[in-house]
């Protein structure tokens, strides 16, 4: 399990610590990302994992979009209550700033009648501050958030994670003054790679094992040949057969898992076979 959640400081603050190393490794491998683009993708995916871990309903889903005029042109990612994460980004190497002016938008569906849509302006060049700004502006829930991403000497993922502390509405001023600052949160998060989630939570916040709630997050796309066949049916049999005739096959690409699909005449026959 790589997600730990617990209440601390006399149940006045919600603590979440997530080791997203394996999840991020899988995502970066899918897209072949290194350096700056890997850092942005990894830390945004970690933040999304935190947001997804807060979903209440079994069918809950959340999507996140970052759009800027910097090297990070667009980043789109989604997750759900089962903590299956996926995402992709468009990167413009001709720009100078990594994260320029732009916006962060989150669509959260808790399984109720209408999804919640929130957004905020990005804090230029500062992802964690942007994540905190989103919670302050759109959710009215001041939340301390720190993400980290470290590559090893070979350019692989050494460690990636996120720590979030969210005071509950009734938290006292004395409790708020106890909250660790950004430097302390980062130091705590770095210890997870060496000592594990519970040991760090216990040492830093006095969390007891019986008070911990664990989940597991992974990088997993929900696309499949069968799913895409269902989508293609809506195009219509005549149109699909024409594409196969002209191109030899119908080609589809999933940006989230970077997978290519091809459907030939036999596949079209199966899509429209008569009962």
Query: Which of 201, 219, 237 corresponds to the end of one domain?
Result: 219
Q: Which pLDDT tens digit goes with each residue over 241-254?
A: 899 988 999 998 88
DSSP string covering 73-96: EEEEEEEETT-EEEEEEEE-TT-S
Q: Return the SS3 of 232.
A: helix
167 and 261 co-located in one domain: no
Q: How far is CA 50 from CA 84, 110, 128, 161, in A?
A: 12, 15, 13, 10
Residue 213 and residue 242 in one domain: no
The parent domain of residue 129 ranges over 3-61+80-91+125-219
Q: What is the pLDDT of residue 234?
A: 87
Asked if residue 112 has pLDDT above 80, the reply is no
Considering the domain architecture, whether residues 41 and 167 belong to the same structural domain is answered as yes
CATH code for the domain in which residue 187 is found: 3.55.30.10
Range 118-134 average pLDDT: 93
Query: Does 84 share its domain with 26?
Result: yes
> What are 65-101's pLDDT values in tens digits?
999 999 999 999 999 999 999 999 999 999 999 999 9
Is there a domain that residue 238 lies in?
yes
Rounded distance between C-alpha atoms, residue 186 and residue 189, angstroms: 5
Per-residue pLDDT at 275 exceeds 70: no
pLDDT at 148 over 60: yes
Average pLDDT, the chain: 92
Asked whether the predicted pLDDT for residue 31 surpasses 90, the reply is yes
Q: What is the pLDDT of residue 274?
A: 56
**Which pLDDT value is given to residue 253?**
86
Kindly state whether residues 256 and 158 are assigned to the same domain. Answer: no
In a domain, 119, yes or no: no
Mean pLDDT value of segment 146-156: 90
CATH number at residue 261: 3.90.1280.10
| Residue 230: band (very low, low, confident or very high) from pLDDT cuts 50, 70, 90 | confident
Residue 71, in any domain of the structure: no
Q: Where a domain ends, among 192, 219, 246?
A: 219
As for how many domains the chain has, the answer is 2
pLDDT of residue 153: 83
Q: Which band of pLDDT confidence, cut at 50, 70 and 90, is reported for residue 154?
A: confident
Q: Is residue 12 part of a domain?
A: yes
More confident residue, 9 or 154: 9
The answer to whether residue 239 is domain-embedded is yes
In this structure, the answer to whether residues 45 and 16 fall within a common structural domain is yes
The reply to whether 194 and 257 lie within a common domain is: no
**230/264 same-domain check:** yes
Mean pLDDT of 220-228: 87
Q: Are residues 181 and 135 in the same domain?
A: yes
What is the average per-residue pLDDT within 179-206? 96
Average pLDDT of span 31-48: 95
> 40 and 132: one domain?
yes
Tell me: the pLDDT tens digits for 157-188? 999 999 999 999 999 999 999 999 999 999 99
Residue 51 has pLDDT above 90, yes or no: yes
261 shares a domain with 160: no
State the pLDDT confidence band at 113, using cuts at 50, 70 and 90: low
Q: Is 231 within a domain?
A: yes
Contact call for residues 268 and 240 (beta carbons, < 8 A): yes
For residues 47 and 160, is the Cβ–Cβ distance under 8 A?
no
Question: Do 140 and 197 fall within a single domain?
Answer: yes
- Among candidate residues 56, 27, 29, the one with its CA nearest the CA of residue 44: 27
105 located within any domain? no
DSSP-derived 3-state class of residue 37? helix
Average pLDDT over residues 223-246: 87
Structure tokens at 170: 């009734």
């Amino acid at each position: 399990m790589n997600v730990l959640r617990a209440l601390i400081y006399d149940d006045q603050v919600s603590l979440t610590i997530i080791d997203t190393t394996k999840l991020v490794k899988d995502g970066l491998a899918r897209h072949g990302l290194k350096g700056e683009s890997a850092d942005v993708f990894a830390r945004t995916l970690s933040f999304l994992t935190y947001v997804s871990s807060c979903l209440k309903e079994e069918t809950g889903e959340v999507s996140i979009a970052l759009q800027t005029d910097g090297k990070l042109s667009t980043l789109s990612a989604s997750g759900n209550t089962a903590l299956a994460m996926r995402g992709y980004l468009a990167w413009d190497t001709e720009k100078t700033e990594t994260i320029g002016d732009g916006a962060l938008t989150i669509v959260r569906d808790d399984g109720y009648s209408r999804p919640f849509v929130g957004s905020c302006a990005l804090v230029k060049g500062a992802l964690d501050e942007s994540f905190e700004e989103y919670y302050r502006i759109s959710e009215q829930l001041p939340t301390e958030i720190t993400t980290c991403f470290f590559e090893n000497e070979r350019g692989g993922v050494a460690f990636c994670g996120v720590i979030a502390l969210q005071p509950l509405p009734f938290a006292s001023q004395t409790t708020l003054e106890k909250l660790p600052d950004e430097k302390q949160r980062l130091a705590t998060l770095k210890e997870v790679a060496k000592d594990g989630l519970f040991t760090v939570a216990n040492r830093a916040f006095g969390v007891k094992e019986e008070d911990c709630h664990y989940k597991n997050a992974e990088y997993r796309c929900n696309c499949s040949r069968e799913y895409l066949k269902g989508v293609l049916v809506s195009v219509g049999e005549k149109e699909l057969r024409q594409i196969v005739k002209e191109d030899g096959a119908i080609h589809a690409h999933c940006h989230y898992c970077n997978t290519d699909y091809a459907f030939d005449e036999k596949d079209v026959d199966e899509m429209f076979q008569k009962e």
